[in-house]
Amino acid sequence: MRVCIHRGSKQIGGSCVEIESCGQRLLVDFGLPLDAEENHSQYLPQIKGLDGSDPSLLGVLISHPHLDHFGLLAYISPKIPVGMGAAARRILKAAAPFLPGNWPVPSEGWDYQSGQRFDIGPFSVTPFLVDHSAYDSYALQIESGGKSIFYSGDFRSHGRKRTLFERLIQNPPRNIDNLLLEGSSLGRLSDFQNFPTENEIEDQLVQLFLSTEGLALIHTSSQNIDRIVSIFKASKRTKRKMIIDLYTASILEATGNDKLPQSAWSDVALYVPQAQRVQIKENAWFDLLKRHSANRIFIEHLHQASNNSTLLFRPLHRFDLERGKCLSGAIYIYSQWEGYWEHGSYDMVKEWIARHSIPKYSIHTSGHASPGELQKLVSAINPRNVTPIHSFYPDKYPELFPNVEIHNDGEWWEV
Phi, psi of 356 (to 5 degrees): -100, 10
Q: What is the pLDDT of residue 339?
A: 87
Q: What is the pLDDT of residue 243?
A: 98
Q: Where are the domains of the chain?
A: 2-190+367-414, 198-362
Q: What is the pLDDT of residue 189?
A: 85
Phi, psi of 231 (to 5 degrees): -65, -45
CA distance linking residue 148 with residue 321, whole number of Å: 54
CATH fold label, 198-362: Rossmann fold (3.40.50)
Q: Report pTM.
A: 0.95
Each residue's pLDDT tens digit, 38-72: 888 889 999 999 999 999 999 999 999 999 999 99
Q: What is the pLDDT of residue 37?
A: 78
Of the candidates 95, 106, 110, 153, the one whose C-alpha atom is nearest the C-alpha of residue 128 is: 153
CA distance linking residue 306 with residue 309, whole number of Å: 5
* DSSP 3-state of 232: helix
CA distance linking residue 229 with residue 259, whole number of Å: 10
pLDDT tens by residue, the chain, 415 residues:
999 999 999 999 999 999 999 999 999 999 999 888 788 888 999 999 999 999 999 999 999 999 999 999 999 999 999 999 999 999 999 999 998 877 888 999 999 999 999 999 999 999 999 999 999 999 999 999 999 999 999 999 999 999 999 999 999 999 999 999 999 999 988 888 999 999 999 999 999 999 999 999 999 999 999 999 999 999 999 999 999 999 999 999 999 999 999 999 999 999 999 999 999 999 999 999 999 999 999 999 999 999 999 999 999 999 999 999 999 999 999 999 998 899 889 999 999 999 999 999 999 999 999 999 999 999 999 999 999 999 999 999 999 999 999 999 999 999 9
Residues 270, 274, 278, 281: is their CA dihedral positive or negative? positive
Of the candidates 415, 326, 340, the one whose C-alpha atom is nearest the C-alpha of residue 18 is: 415
Task: Count the Cβ atoms, other than its own, within 10 Å of residue 211.
Answer: 9
Instruction: Specify the CATH superfamily of domain 2-190+367-414.
Output: Ribonuclease Z/Hydroxyacylglutathione hydrolase-like (3.60.15.10)
